[in-house]
Structure 1
Amino acid sequence: MKRIFVESLAILFACFIGALVAYEILVYELAVDYEFILEDDEALAHQQLLQNIADHQGGPSALEAMKQYAQQSHLLLQSHERPPAIVSQFFNENSSQYIYFDEDRILWFRLSGNTAIFSYVPDHSSVVRQKIDLEEDLAWIFMLGSFVIFNLANIWLILRRARKLENTTRRFARGDLSCRADLSSSNRLGSLNQSFNDMADRIAQLIESNRALTNAVAHELRTPIFRVQWQAELLQETKLDESQVATVNSIIEDSEEMEHMVDELLHYTRLENDHGVLSLETIELAALLSDSKKRWQKDKPCTVNLTIQVTPDRLIVVADKRLLMRALDNLVRNAFKYADNEVRLVCYAQAQLVYISVHDDGPGVSRAHQDHIFEPFYVADKARNKSQSGHGLGLSIVRKICDQHSGMIEVGTSEILNGAMFTLVLPASYDKSG
C-alpha cells in the first residue's frame, strides 16, 4: 500500500510539472506572446514621449521626467555610457531602433541626440515591489499546496477503500467464506467490490457444494464398506485354503482401511461445518496425557518407547477436550508410524501459550514438504514411506482443531531426537493454587 501511495503521488506530481512545462512551451515558445507585444508598444510610446520632451524642453527635462516615472513606478533609472555588449550590438546594428528588451525583460532605450543608453530595473528595495513578490510566492505556495493536499486526500481515500477490500480478501483467503466487501458508496472502489463479492459467492458456493458432495459420498460409502466387511467375515467362517484365507484377510484389512478413511473424511467435514462451535472446559494437561498414555501404549509398536514431560506439573489449558484428544491422538499415532525407537511428548508454557511438542527419531519431514503437510490429502511420499503415509487427513484435522482454538500447529526438526517435531500451540491458563 505504501508503494502504491508513493507511486501515485509521484505520477500526479510528474503530471503537474508536465502540464506547467507544456503551458510554458505552448504560450511562450510556439504561440505569439501578446503580453510582450503590449510591453513593446508601451515602451515605444514611453520613449517617444521622452523624445518629445527632449526635443521641446531639452534633455534635462526629459531626464527629470525619467526620474519621476521611475520613482512613481518603483523602478531604478540607470544611465549607461558603456552598456552590455549585446545591447550595444543591437543598437549599432539597428540604428532606427530606440528600445530593446533583454532576456530578463529589462527595458533599454535611447534618445536621439544623446549618446547615453538608459534602462529601467525593478527596485526590489521598494515596499510595493516586495509585497508583489511576496504575493506571487504565496500564490505559487497555495497552488502547489492545494495540489498536494487535494491529491493526498484523493489518494488516501482510494487507499483507504483499497485497504478495506484487501483486508476482506485476506479474511476470505484465510477461510472466512462469509466475509464480503462493503458496497456502500463511501467504501466502494468502482465495481471492484461487487466483482469480488460475485467471485466470493461463486467460490463459496463451489466449496460448499464440494463439502456437501464429500460428506454425502462418505456417508454413502459406509454401507457398501460394511457389506464387504460382513461378507468377508462370513467367508472366514467357511472352509478355505490358505490362499483364499489370505485373500479374505486382505479384503478385510482393505475395507477397514477404507472405513478409517471415511471416518477421517467425515470428521474433517464436520470440523469444517461446525464453524468454531466448541465445548470448552478447563483441562489439566498432565492428567489428560497420563490417561491418554495408557491408550497410546496399546497402539504403539513394541520397539518404540513413549515418554511424556509436562512443565509445570499443573499446567492448565482451556479447550474442547474431545477435539484436543483427537489432535493429540493424530500427532502421537503419526509419530508412532515413523519413529525408530522413541517418541517423546514435551509440554511447557511460555508467554501465555501452551506448547505441546511431539518428537520422534524417524526420518523427519523435509523442508520441501513442511509448507504443505497440513493440507488435506497431501502425502509427502519423498519424506515418508508410502505404506506409512496414511490418507493425508490426520494432520489436516489437527490444523483445523488448532484453528478453532485460536492456536496453531508447526512442524520442524526435533533437536532432541533429530526426527520430526510437531508442535501444537494453544492459549494458556495457569492453575495458581498449585
Structure 2
Amino acid sequence: MLLIAILLAVSIYGSLKIFDYFGREPRAEMAALQAVTIVNYTRASLIASHENRRGALLSELSGREGVRVYSADFMEQIEPLPNDPFVQLLAQKIRQRLGVETIITVNHYSIPGLWISFNVELDDFWVVIPNIQADRPLPWHWLGWGALIGLLSLAGAYITAGRINRPLNFLAHAADKLRNGELAPRLPEDSLDELSEVNQTFNEMADALVRLDSERNLLLAGVSHDIRTPLARLRLAVEMLSKDESTKMKEGMIEDIADMDNIIHQFLDFVRGVEGESSQMVDINVLLTSLAERQARAGRQLRLKLGPNYYIPLRPLAMQRLLDNLVGNAYAYTKGEVVVESEITADMVVIRVLDRGPGIPKDQTERLLRPFERLDSARTKNEGGSGLGLAICNRIAKLHHGNLQLINREAGGLEVQLSLPIKHR
C-alpha cells in the first residue's frame, strides 16, 4: 500500500508539473496581453490629459481595479526578476510588445505586484498590476482534486489488495500447517478467478498427501504389529531355553530381540505422530525436573542447569517424548555425564542436551534429522536403532514452530539445541 501511495503521489506531482510546463506559454501570453493593454491604456490617458491634470488623473487611475501608477525615479535600486520560468517568459513577452528598454520588476518598494515602466514625453512612470502575480500561487484546487483522486485510488487499491491478499494469506497459513505436519484447512475455491485454480490444486494436493500419509501409517502400523507378535513368541522361546544352553548366546539373542522391539516401537511412534494432542501452558523448569526424575528412576543421574521459570504453550506428552529421546541418545553414546540446560532469550526458550560422546561430522547434521538416516561411524557403532529417533524429535520441534540443531562441542561431544519461540505464529 505504501508503494501504491508513493506511486500515486509521484504521478500526481508529475501531472501537475507537465500541465504547468505546457500551460506556461499560453498563460504567459494572456498575462502579457493584459499587462500591455493596461500600460497602453494608462499611457494614452496621460498623453491625452493636460499636463496640469496628470496628478489628478494618476489618482483616478490608481483607484481602478487596484492598478496603481507612480512616477518613476530610475536612480532607485531595482531588484532583478526572480529566477522563475513563468516570470521570465512573461517579462520577455511584455518587452516584445512594449520594447526591450521596458523595465520590469516585482514587489518593488515592498509593494506586491508586477511593476512595468513606461514614459510619456520626458516623464517616466510605473504601472503596478497586483492581479498579475509573478509568483503564481500554487493551484490548491488542483492539489485538492488530486488528493481526492489519490485517496479514492488508494481506497480502490486497498479493496483490491484485500481481495487478493486475503486468499493468499489463507493459502500461506494452510501451507504452513501442511509443512509442519498438521491438517491443512480447505481453501475456498470460489475466490478470484486467478486464485480459484491455485486453491483447487492446493486442496487436491493436500488431500493426496493425507491419503498418502494414511496409507503409509496403515502400512507401517500393520507391519510393526505383524512383526511384534512373532518377536514376542521368539523371546518367550529364548527365555524357556534350558539352563544348559550358552548363557552368553541366550543374552545376545534377548538383546537382539529387544533392539528389534525398540525399532518397532520407534516405527509406531513415528506413525502415531502428536498432532492430536492439545497444547497447554507448561513451566519449562517443571518439565525438565520431571525429565531428571524419570532418568533417576532408570539409574541415570542427569545434571540440570536451569534458567528462570517460564511458561510456554506445549504439547506435554510430545515434549516429554522429545526430551526422553534426546537424553536417551546422549546416554547411549557417552560414558560420561549428560547435562541439560535451559535459557530464556528475548524471543526464544532454548534447551540444550550436552554429552561428551564422539560427536558427528559437521556436514551430516542436517541429514541426521531426516527419517531413516544413520551414521556408520563411532557414534552409531554397535548401537541399534532405525534412524527415526531424531526425525521424531525434529517433527515435534517443527510442530511447536521450533528448531532442532546438532552442534559439535569444541572440547568434544555433541550439543543438541532445541529452540522454541516464545510467541507462536
* In 2: Cα distance, 1:28 partner to 1:309 partner: 84
Q: Secondary structure at the match of 1:342?
A: coil
The verdict on how the C-alpha distance between 1:51 and 1:332 changes in structure 2, with shifts beyond 3 A counting, is closer
TM-superposed CA distance for 1:58, in Å, is 2.7
Checking the alignment, whether the CA contact within 8 Å between 1:381 and 1:389 is kept in structure 2 is: no
Counterpart in 1 of 2:220? 218
What residue in structure 2 maps to residue 53 of structure 1? 45
Cα pair 2:394 2:404 within 8 Å, conserved: no
| Structure 2 counterpart of 1:12, from 8, 29, 39 | 8
Q: CA contact under 8 A between 2:407 and 2:414: conserved in structure 1?
A: yes
Post-superposition shift, 1:361? 0.8
Aligned partners of 2:259 and 2:384 also within 8 Å:
no
- Taking the aligned partners of 2:143 and 2:265, their CA distance within structure 1 comes to 73
Q: 3-state SS of the aligned residue for 2:303?
A: strand
**Alignment length (residue pairs):** 377
- Secondary structure of 2:23's match? helix
Residue of structure 2 equivalent to 1:307: 301
1:394 aligns with 2:394: no
Is this contact kept in 1: 2:220–2:268, CA < 8 A? yes
Displacement, 1:379?
5.1
- Closer, same or farther in 2 for the Cα pair 1:268/1:278, shift >3 Å? farther
Match of 2:20 in 1: 24
Q: Give the equivalent residue in structure 2 for 1:335.
A: 330
TM-score (norm 2): 0.60
2:340 aligned with 1:346, yes or no?
yes
Output one character per residue of 1:242-284: Cα deviation in whole Å (capped at 9) or x when no partner.
xxxx9xx99x97x997876565344323216x43358999988
Partner of 2:266: 264
Counterparts of 1:160 and 1:403, CA distance in 2: 30
Quick one: which amino acid aligns to residue 338 of structure 1?
Y
- Indicate the residue corresponding to 1:421 in structure 2: 415
Quick one: structure 1 residues 99 and 360, their matched pair in 2 at CA, closer, same or farther if it must change by over 3 Å?
A: same
Are residue 360 (structure 1) and residue 388 (structure 2) matched? no
Matched to 1:119, the amino acid is: V
User: 1:212-268 deviations in whole A, cap 9, x for unaligned?
Assistant: 2322432454488679979999xx9xxxxxxxxx9xx99x97x99787656534432
Runs of 5+ consecutive residues of structure 1 not aligned to the other structure? 237-245, 298-305, 428-434
- Report the CA distance shift for 1:349/1:279 in structure 2 as closer, same or farther (over 3 A): same
Instruction: Label 1:281 to 1:68 Cα distance change in 2 as closer, same or farther (>3 A).
Output: closer
| Alignment-mate amino acid for residue 176 of structure 2 | A
Alignment CA distance shift 1:180-1:138 (3 Å): farther
Question: Whole-Å Cα distance in 2 between the matches of residues 335 and 372 of structure 1?
Answer: 18
Q: 1:360 to 1:219 in 2, by over 3 A?
A: same
Q: Partner letter of residue 16 of structure 2? A: L
Question: Shift in Å at residue 332 of structure 1?
Answer: 3.0
Distance in 2, matches of 1:382 and 1:331, equals: 18
SS in 1 for 2:358: coil
How many Å apart are 1:195 and its aligned residue?
5.9
Once the two structures are overlaid, the 10-residue window that deviates more, 377-386 or 20-29, is 377-386
Cα displacement (A) at 1:287: 6.4
CA distance in 2, matches of 1:291, 1:118: 105
- Report the AA paired with residue 270 of structure 1: R
* Cα 1:177/1:355, change in 2 over 3 Å: same
How far does residue 211 in structure 1 lie from its aligned partner after superposition?
0.9
- Counterpart of 1:430 in structure 2 is none
* Matched AA of 2:175: F
> Does the 8 A contact of 1:414 with 1:421 survive in 2?
yes
CA contact (8 A) 1:348 1:354 kept: yes
Report which stretch shifted further, 141-150 or 171-180: 141-150
Q: How far 1:163 moved relative to its partner?
A: 7.0
Q: How has the CA–CA distance of structure 1 residues 12 and 59 changed in structure 2, closer, same or farther, with 3 Å as cutoff?
A: farther
Is the contact made by 1:363 and 1:384 (CA closer than 8 Å) also made in structure 2?
Answer: yes
Render the CA deviation track for 1:127-163: whole Å, top value 9, x for unaligned.
xx9xx999x6865775676577667766766777777
Partner of 1:243: none
In 2, distance between residues paired with 1:387 and 1:411? 24
Structure 1: distance between partners of 2:120 and 2:349: 103
Match of 1:432 in 2: none
Distance 1:139 1:263, change over 3 A: same
Q: Structure 1 residues 94-103 or 387-396, which shifts more?
A: 94-103
1:426 CA displacement: 8.6
Counterparts in 2 of 1:321 and 1:6: CA distance versus 1, 3 Å = closer
Unaligned runs of 5+ in 2: 82-87, 107-112, 239-248
Letter of the structure 1 residue corresponding to residue 356 of structure 2: D
CA distance in 1, matches of 2:404, 2:420: 12
What is the aligned partner in structure 1 of residue 116 from structure 2?
Answer: 108
Could you tell me how far apart the structure 2 residues matched to 1:389 and 1:417 are?
A: 26
Deviation per CA, 1:25-49: give whole Å up to 9, x if none: 33225xxx1x444434434443443
Q: Secondary structure at the match of 1:276?
A: coil
Q: 1:120 aligns with which of 128, 140, 164?
A: 128
Q: 1:42 aligns with which of 20, 23, 34?
A: 34
Aligned counterparts of 1:368 and 1:103: Cα–Cα separation in 2: 80
CA deviations over 1:83-129 (Å, ceiling 9, x no partner)? 97999x989x97975997969793635355355253325399xxxx9
Is the Cα–Cα contact under 8 Å of residues 350 and 417 in structure 2 kept in the other structure? yes
CA–CA separation in structure 2 for the residues paired with 1:387 and 1:76: 111
> In the superposition, relative to structure 1, how do residues 363 and 394 fare at CA in structure 2: closer, same or farther (>3 Å)?
same
Alignment correspondent of 1:302 = none
Q: 2:184 aligns with which of 168, 171, 178?
A: 178
